[in-house]
Structure 1
Amino acid sequence: MRKIRVLVVDDSSFNRKIISEILESSEKIEVVGKAFDGEDAISKILKFQPEAITLDLEMPRMDGFAVLRWVMANHPVPVIVVSARESDRSVFKALDLGAVDFVVKPSRHASPQLKEIERELLAKILSIPSLQFDVVRQRLAQTAPPPAPAALPQAQGSRTAEVVAIAASTGGPPAIQQILQGLHPALASPILVCQHMPPIFTRLFAERLGALTGRAVKEAEDGEALQPAHVYIAPGGKQLRLKLKEGVKRLSVDERKPEDRFAPCANHLLASVAEVCGRHCLVAVLTGMGDDGKEGSVAVHEAGGAVVAESEASAVIFGMPREVIKAGAADHITDIPGVVGLINRYAVMRSGFGP
Structure 2
Amino acid sequence: MSGATIRVLIVDDSVVIRRLIKEILDADSRIEVVGVAHNGQVAITKVEELKPDAVTMDIEMPVMNGVDAVRALRKTHPRLPIVMFSTLTERGASATMDALAAGASDYVTKPANVGSVMESRQNIKDQLIPKLIALTGARKLVGTRTALPPAQPPAGVSRAAGTPRRTQPFGLLAIGSSTGGPDALATVLSALPGDLPVPVVITQHMPPVFTKMLAQRLDSISRLNIVEAEEGDVVERGKVLIAPGGLHMEMKSKGTGVFVHLSDAPPENFCRPAVDVMFRSVAAVYRNRVLGLVLTGMGRDGAAGAGVIRSAGGEVFAQDEASSVVWGMPGATVLAGQADRVLPIEQIAPTVAAALIQSQGASTRQAAGPVTGGVRA
Q: Name the TM-score class by shorter chain.
A: 0.7 to 0.9
- 1:70–1:133: structure 2 CA closer, same or farther, 3 Å change rule? farther
SS of 1:62's partner is coil
Check whether the contact 1:133–1:316 (CA below 8 A) recurs between aligned residues: no
Residue 284 of structure 2 is aligned to residue 275 of structure 1 = yes
SS of 1:158's partner is coil
Equivalent-residue separation in structure 1 for 2:35 and 2:201 (angstroms):
42
- 2:349 alignment partner in structure 1: 340
- 1:81 alignment partner in structure 2: 84
Within 5 Å, give how 1:322-341 maps onto structure 2: 322-341=331-350
Check whether the contact 1:159–1:305 (CA below 8 A) recurs between aligned residues: no
> TM-score when scaled to structure 1?
0.87
- Between Structure 1 and Structure 2, how many residues are aligned? 335
Where does structure 1 lack aligned partners over 5 or more consecutive residues? 136-152
Within 5 Å, give how 1:5-20 maps onto structure 2: 5-20=7-22
Residue 98 of structure 2 is aligned to residue 93 of structure 1 = yes
Check whether the contact 1:55–1:82 (CA below 8 A) recurs between aligned residues: yes
| Paired letter, 2:14 | S
Check whether the contact 2:8–2:35 (CA below 8 A) recurs between aligned residues: yes
- 1:172–1:134: structure 2 CA closer, same or farther, 3 Å change rule? farther
Within 5 Å, give how 1:1-355 maps onto structure 2: 2-76=4-78, 77-85=80-88, 86-107=91-112, 112=117, 114-115=120-121, 116-132=123-139, 156-257=165-266, 261-347=270-356
| Paired letter, 1:95 | L
Check whether the contact 1:132–1:315 (CA below 8 A) recurs between aligned residues: no
Q: Deviations over 1:20-58 (max 9, x none)?
A: 122222211111111112233233223322111000010
Question: Does 339-348 or 319-328 show the bigger shift?
Answer: 339-348
Equivalent-residue separation in structure 1 for 2:36 and 2:11 (angstroms):
6
Equivalent-residue separation in structure 2 for 1:348 and 1:242 (angstroms):
22
Equivalent-residue separation in structure 2 for 1:299 and 1:101 (angstroms):
29
Shift of 1:91: 0.9
Shift of 1:328: 1.4
Check whether the contact 1:285–1:320 (CA below 8 A) recurs between aligned residues: yes
| Paired letter, 1:130 | G
Shift of 1:261: 1.1
Equivalent-residue separation in structure 2 for 1:30 and 1:156 (angstroms):
52
Check whether the contact 1:237–1:256 (CA below 8 A) recurs between aligned residues: no
- 1:159–1:332: structure 2 CA closer, same or farther, 3 Å change rule? farther
Residue identity over aligned pairs, in percent, reads 35
Check whether the contact 2:172–2:289 (CA below 8 A) recurs between aligned residues: yes
- 1:42–1:333: structure 2 CA closer, same or farther, 3 Å change rule? closer
Equivalent-residue separation in structure 2 for 1:14 and 1:197 (angstroms):
26
- 1:19–1:262: structure 2 CA closer, same or farther, 3 Å change rule? same
Equivalent-residue separation in structure 2 for 1:251 and 1:123 (angstroms):
32
Shift of 1:108: 7.6
- 1:320–1:259: structure 2 CA closer, same or farther, 3 Å change rule? closer
CA RMSD for the aligned pairs? 2.6
SS of 1:199's partner is coil
Check whether the contact 2:211–2:243 (CA below 8 A) recurs between aligned residues: yes
Check whether the contact 1:78–1:133 (CA below 8 A) recurs between aligned residues: no
| Paired letter, 1:54 | T
| Paired letter, 1:240 | M
Equivalent-residue separation in structure 2 for 1:49 and 1:93 (angstroms):
25
| Paired letter, 1:200 | V
Equivalent-residue separation in structure 2 for 1:238 and 1:100 (angstroms):
24
Shift of 1:131: 2.1
Question: Does 99-108 or 246-255 show the bigger shift?
Answer: 99-108
Shift of 1:336: 2.1
Check whether the contact 2:267–2:273 (CA below 8 A) recurs between aligned residues: no
